[in-house]
Amino acid sequence: MIHQHISEGVGFRFITERARNQQLLQENLQRELQQKLVEVSILQQKIDKAMIENAPRANPVIEPEKQSPTPPPSSSKSP
């Protein structure tokens, strides 16, 4: 009877320790996730800023050299 109480106590301690470890792991993962979300937010802001800064150059004006009268080789010959 005494042996059974001892083993139940050890089992209970094991279960509570395991539950505590699971809780700590969950808290650590939650903190990691929060940190990653902050990093993603910062990167998104940098991307948005870069897109705004580069917006005027997004649709470049066709350069005069690209308007040369010589047609590309593929369209110069008709089949």
pLDDT in tens, 20-60: 999 999 999 999 999 999 999 999 999 999 999 888 755 55
How many domains is the chain partitioned into structurally?
1
Highest mean pLDDT (candidates 7-21, 23-37, 58-72): 23-37
- The answer to whether position 66 is within a domain reads no
Range of the domain at 50: 1-54
- What residues contact residue 29 under an 8 Å CB cut-off, 6+ apart? none
Is position 61 within any domain?
no
Long-range contacts of 73-79 (CB under 8 A, 24+ apart): none
